[in-house]
Amino acid sequence: MAQAKKDSHYISAKESRRIAAENRKITRAFEKKKARRNVNESEYLTKMADDGNIVEFDNLHTYFYTDVGTVKAVDGITFSIPEGSIVGVVGESGCGKSVTSLSLMQLVQGPAGQIASGSIRFKASDGKVYDVAKMPTAAMNKIRGKEMAMIFQEPMTSLNPVFKIGQQLDEVMLLHTPGATKEQAKARSIEMLGLVGISDGERIYNQFPHELSGGMRQRVMIAMALECNPRLIVADEPTTALDVTIQAQILDLLRDIKTKINGSIMLITHDLGVIAEMADYVVVMYAGRVIEQGTAKEIFDHPMHPYTIGLQKSKPMVNQSVERLYSIPGAVPNPVDLPNYCYFRDRCDRRCPACNGDYPEIRTVAGTHRVACHLYEPEDKGGAK
Amino acid sequence: MSEFDYGLPFVEEPDDIIVLKHLTKHFPIKTNLFGKVLVSVKAVNDVSIKVKKGTTLGVVGESGCGKTTMGRTMLRLYDVTSGEIIYKGLDLSRLSTQELRKLLPKEEKFAALRANGGREELLEALAVTGVNINDVPRSAMRKLRPDLQIIFQDPYSSLSPRLTIGSIISEAVEEHHIVPKNEVREYVLKIMKECGLQPYYYDRYPHEFSGGQRQRICIARALALNPKIVICDEPVSALDVSIQAQIINLLKDLQEQRGITYVFISHDLSVVKHISTDVAVMYLGSLMEKAPTDAIFDKPLHPYTKALLSAVPVPDPNVKMNRIILEGDIPSPANPPAGCKFHTRCRECMEVCKSVEPNLVEYEPEHFVACHLYQKETNDVPQTPTEKNG
């Protein structure tokens, strides 16, 4: 793929057609597998590695088979979400954080986007552990929205403009609760609107999305996510499109909700401030891989990976002033043909000879703190170099 | 207009480059059969600000507070409803003597000069008084455009996909005869280099670039005309943190080299703090507070500014902010609340706030605030919220 003229990322039409044909073969097989009906449960039931977790990503690969080559949007990530905690995933655009969450919900845009390998283990409320990566769509539909729910970035575009708020909220309940009546659904919807701080739920219930402000729409999205008492909420940039004052309201609400439903939240954002405020655990991603993970304290007090350090230094802060902002030189590498050395090497200011070698394995440096960088030796070999 | 009878809250100084006097911009949304405006969106309401040469004015506020409208009105992309936008130090030598005459303020003392002043005298007089950009005829406005430039928020939609980078930047350079025709390419390459763009980008198209690079192209396009004033309308909001820092540093460097004055519009307070010398806080079309950056961030006066500052998340889990969470949403600018516009969400709302709109006053030197808490004499203790003065 794209080997002929690697430097210019140029692909001839003939080459592109060949790749497209190949991709069709691959993606068709994936789609067929997902579309099967009446699959025996045993095929996708599995066991958790650690029973205290609600979600475990295990060496997950999500690829996009495009006509210019395979984009490895998520390239072997491993992390877990402990029950009752908020895990923040942070990274720049294109680092694969959204694709990770979409993989978990099995909402990656097919047929080009496919979970190529790895597993995502999810523990449902009845104690069963599902491997989302292997689940057929029909089975997935039963737990998506019920056991895990998602809050999307753009409240403006993720609500259907032609249906009233009420109809969209009721749908969740009617789909997932067998035997639920419309009256029950309505009562539940209005209750949920109250829970997210909308005082006149009755009125909002009969309104259309365009009649609401951005903050209100995001509240409706959250209400929709809460409809079936999910155990896990995936919030993909829930406040990016909102003003700071509204952002503060929504973050406050999310924290509240977490204690009320006693669930876990996977929070995806590019804003380090939001992460610091909300998350118990932080996962830093870069070009489709996890480069550093640990508790919020570890990541913010002792960042180790040069990228994490650079990211923190490059953010201007309200409570301190610097003469000149630190900026990470260069840009994220092209995701179609990533190098076989550390993806951050060309932008890194702490390069060492080892960096010319293979991509660094992620290693545990202290307790829960793990980092993928040659500068640090694994814990058992004794601290940093 | 009677409501504008009271004077400006500040005194004009010679080194001010922009002076806004009671700037107001309303957009009609409903008219009756005869074209009389029944309902209008009051996007910018009686804003008076001055900006010193070579400094950066940061304009912050929530979406819908009128900060973008203000920026665009300042460039005369919209015509004002009322008020004046005065620029000093623009290059007026491009205008004809006839046009210069029209630009003189309509005051008695300029009557003689207008009637039979020479070109040199006119230019001299205008350098002192400044030019009200609303008096400039359309034809002459084009000649002033090089001095006033804008960088738009979205680098994805503000570059024509059909033009190469070279032609995007050189288009205006040729139009305004900045350099002789045979030197345009060389000049454009020089500007591109200053903005951190490689020379071989010249013949490429915008879709080949990332957001950060496109924003550099937008900056290069604005700077190629040697502007005196650049309005930056959320130039970094669409970019990633690490790219944001690159662009902010670039803007700062260029300001140092060329002495450009920026009006930096943003909703991100931390970015504004970093780049600005003065900050203006807007809410629902009105100016709430204006002060030097340090004063605003260290000692905010207006309750809205306080709430806005406390809502910014700090990237440090050890800092627990004492957060002021504002209730509800920003009211509709078509039907703003009476009295102080912020009173519906204000914690320290008093009776007087509901009926009387506070004036912008200089509470401390250079620190302007429009709030009833600070309306008394400067040496007075501000009223506590419990003291109702209805």
Q: Quick check: A326 and B245 CB within 8 A?
A: yes
**Exposed e or buried b for every residue in A259-271, given b needs 16+ CB within 10 A?**
eebebbbbbbbbb
Measured at the alpha carbon of residue A129, what is the angle toward residues A107 and A53, in degrees to the nearest 5? 90
* R_g over Cα of chain A: 22
Q: How many CA atoms lie within 13 A of B291 on its CB side?
A: 23
Q: Which of B330, B331, B312, B329 is nearest to B321 (CA)?
A: B312
Burial of B338 (0-12, 13-18, 19+ CB in 10 A): exposed
Burial class (CB in 10 A: 0-12, 13-18, 19+), B365: exposed
CB-based burial label for B20 (10 Å; 0-12, 13-18, 19+): buried
- Residue A126 domain-assigned (yes or no): no
Q: How close is the nearest chain B Cα to the Cα of A272, in Å?
A: 5
Position B99 scores a pLDDT of 85
pTM of the model: 0.84
Determine contact, residues A190/A224, Cβ cutoff 8 Å.
no
Q: Is the CB of A321 less than 8 angstroms away from the CB of B274?
A: yes
- CB–CB of B317 and A297 under 8 A? yes
A274-296 average pLDDT score: 92
What pLDDT, in 10s, does the model give residues B280-319? 999 999 999 999 999 999 999 999 999 988 888 888 888 7
Backbone angles phi, psi at A377, to 5 degrees: -90, 150
Q: In chain B, what residues touch A90 (CB-CB under 8 Å)?
A: none
* Counted domains in chain A: 1
> pLDDT tens digit string along A141-153?
988 988 999 998 8
B245 touches chain A (CB under 8 A): yes
Average the pLDDT over each of A7-11, A202-206, A324-328, B229-233 and give the range with the smallest value: A7-11
Q: At what angle do helices B241-258 and B211-223 cross, to 10 degrees?
A: 10
CB-nearest partner of A276 from B243, B244, B315: B315
Tell me, yes or no, if B93 comes closer than 8 A to chain A by beta carbon. Answer: no
Question: Out of B313, B326, B329, whose CB is closest to A274?
Answer: B313
Cα–Cα distance, B132 to B145 (Å, whole number): 14
* pLDDT of B24: 93
Q: Which candidate in A93, A270, A317 is best for mutational testing of the B interface (most B CBs within 10 A)?
A: A317
ω into A161 cis (within 30 of 0): no
Q: How far apart are CA A80 and CA A372, in angstroms?
A: 17
Q: Which of A77-86, A169-178, B52-61, B376-385 has the lowest mean pLDDT?
A: B376-385
| pLDDT-based confidence at residue B375 (cuts at 50, 70, 90) | confident
Alpha helices in chain B (DSSP H): 67-74, 97-103, 111-116, 119-129, 138-144, 165-175, 184-194, 211-223, 241-258, 269-275, 293-298, 303-310
- For residue B369, the distance in angstroms to the closest alpha carbon of chain A comes to 20
Calculate how close chain B gets to A274, using CA atoms only, in Å. Answer: 6
Range of the domain at A315: 289-381
pLDDT greater than 50 at residue A1: no
CB B276 within 8 A of CB B54: no
Give CA–CA dist A230/B348, Å, rounded. 39
In a domain, A269, yes or no: no
Report the residue from A243, A270, A271 with minimal CB separation from B313. Answer: A271
pLDDT at B229: 94
Please give the mean pLDDT across all residues of chain B.
Answer: 86
pLDDT of residue B7: 65
Residue A117 lies in a domain: no
Share the mean pLDDT of chain A.
87
Residue type, position A307, single letter: Y
Is A341 within a domain? yes
Q: How confident is the model at residue B279 (pLDDT cuts 50, 70, 90)?
A: very high
Contacts of B329 (CB under 8 A, 6+ apart): A213, A215, A216, A246
Residues of A in contact with B310 (CB under 8 A): 248
| CA nearest to A310 within chain B | B242
Give me the long-range contacts of B249-257 (CB less than 8 A, separation at least 24): B249/A324, B249/A325, B249/A327, B250/B195, B250/B196, B250/B216, B250/B219, B251/B219, B251/B275, B252/A324, B254/B194, B254/B195, B254/B219, B254/B223, B255/B54, B255/B56, B257/B194
Chain B hits for A312, Cβ within 8 Å: 315
- Among the partner residues B246, B249, B315, nearest to A300 by beta-carbon distance: B315
Q: Please say if the pLDDT value at position A54 is more than 70.
A: yes
Query: Inter-chain contact B245–A314, Cβ cutoff 8 Å?
Result: yes
Minimum-distance CB partner of B241 among A92, A213, A216: A92
A21 inside domain = no
Q: What residues in chain A have their Cβ under 8 A from chain B's Cβ atoms?
A: 92-93, 213-216, 243-249, 251-252, 270-277, 296-297, 300-301, 310-312, 314-319, 321-322, 324-329, 331
A251 contact residues in B (CB cutoff 8 A): 313
> Is 70 exceeded by the pLDDT of residue B144?
yes
Token pair 């600000």 in the structure block, residue? B49
Question: Is A375 a domain residue?
Answer: yes
Give pLDDT, residue A299.
Answer: 92
With CB atoms and an 8 Å threshold, state whether B329 touches A215.
Answer: yes
What is the pLDDT averaged over residues B59-77? 90
Buried b (16+ CB within 10 A) or exposed e, B75-95: bbebebbebbbbbbbbebebb
* β-strands B56-60, B261-265 pairing: parallel
What was the ipTM of the complex prediction? 0.79
With beta carbons less than 8 A apart as the criterion, state whether B76 and B150 touch.
no
**Model pLDDT for residues B13-31, shown as the tens digit of each residue:** 778 899 999 999 999 888 8
As given in the structure block, the two tokens for residue A342 are 């550390």
Main-chain phi, psi angles of B313, to 5 degrees: -70, 135
Angle of helix A165-176 relative to helix A182-195, nearest 10 degrees?
120
Side-chain half-sphere CA neighbours of B321 within 13 A: 24
* pLDDT band at A12; cut points 50, 70, 90: confident
> Do A249 and B325 lie within an 8 Å CB cutoff?
yes
Pairwise CB contact (< 8 Å): A248 & B323: yes
pLDDT at A74: 92
Cβ within 8 Å, pair A92-B240: yes
Beta carbons within 8 Å of A187's beta carbon, 6+ residues apart: none
Count of other CB atoms within 10 angstroms of residue B100: 21
Residue B142 C-alpha, separation from nearest chain A C-alpha, in angstroms: 36
User: Is the separation of the CB atoms in A270 and A92 below 8 Å?
Assistant: yes
Task: Tell me if A293 is assigned to some domain.
Answer: yes
pLDDT tens digits, one per residue of A213-255: 888 888 899 999 988 889 999 999 888 878 888 888 889 888 9
Name every chain A residue with its beta carbon within 8 A of the beta carbon of B269. 244, 318
CA distance B81 to B74: 12
Q: What is d(CA B144, CA B205) in angstroms, rounded to the nearest whole number? A: 29
Q: Render the burial of A197-232: b for 16+ CB within 10 Å, e for the rest.
A: bbeebeebbeeebeebbbbbbbbbbbbbbbbbebbb
Q: Which two tokens stand for residue B254?
A: 């260029």
Phi then psi dihedrals of residue A134, to 5 deg: -105, -5
Residues of B in contact with A314 (CB under 8 A): 241-242, 244-245
Query: pLDDT at position B139, please?
Result: 84
Tens-digit pLDDT profile for residues B349-358: 888 898 988 9
Whether A105 maps to a domain, the answer reads no
Taking an 8 Å cut-off on Cβ atoms, the answer to whether B245 and A315 are in contact is: yes
Instruction: Show Cβ contacts of residue A155 under 8 Å, excluding neighbours closer than 6 positions.
Output: A214, A217, A218, A220, A221, A241
Least CB-CB distance to A318: which of B210, B243, B314?
A: B314
B264, B272 in Cβ contact below 8 A?
Answer: yes
Q: Is B277 on the interface with A (CB under 8 A)?
A: no
Residue A5: the pLDDT is: 42
